[in-house]
Copies of this chain bind each other. A is one copy, B any other.
Amino acid sequence: MQSYAKSRIKILYRQICLHNILYQFAILSVKNNEDILFLKALGQKIKKIRTEKGYTQAQLSADLGMEISQISRIERGVVNTSVLNLKKIASLLNVSIKDLFGSL
């Protein structure tokens, strides 16, 4: 029974790895490298401002009415978010939308 569980976990782990590879490939296929770097820099700037202002992702999520996973994806730069989402984040963090772009 224990070895059965182990083999199930192994299969599951492989499936997750494969899923991740396919997911990364899907991202890469629609965005070029410059876009990926841009979204990453934007996400890092948002995270920097959020932590400086003492906000957690959970607080931001609750105040914005946005899924916490969505906030996380924006900060990791893996999602091409909308301009109104950026405006909402900027308003809540009490900065201008331009500030989110830092030196971009």
A contacts, CB < 8 Å to B? 31, 35, 38-39, 42, 80-84, 86-87, 96-98, 101, 104
Given contacts A42-B83, A98-B104, 9 further A-B contacts (CB under 8 A): A38-B84, A38-B87, A39-B83, A39-B84, A80-B84, A81-B82, A82-B82, A83-B83, A97-B104
Tell me the number of copies of this protein: 2
Chain B nearest CB, measured from A31 CB (Å): 7
Chain B nearest CB, measured from A61 CB (Å): 19
Contact at A31–B84, with CB atoms within 8 Å? yes
Given A97-B101, A98-B98, do A83 and B84 touch, yes or no (CB 8 Å)?
Answer: no
> What 7 A-B pairs are tightest by C-beta distance, nearest first?
A98-B98, A80-B84, A80-B82, A98-B101, A35-B84, A97-B101, A82-B82
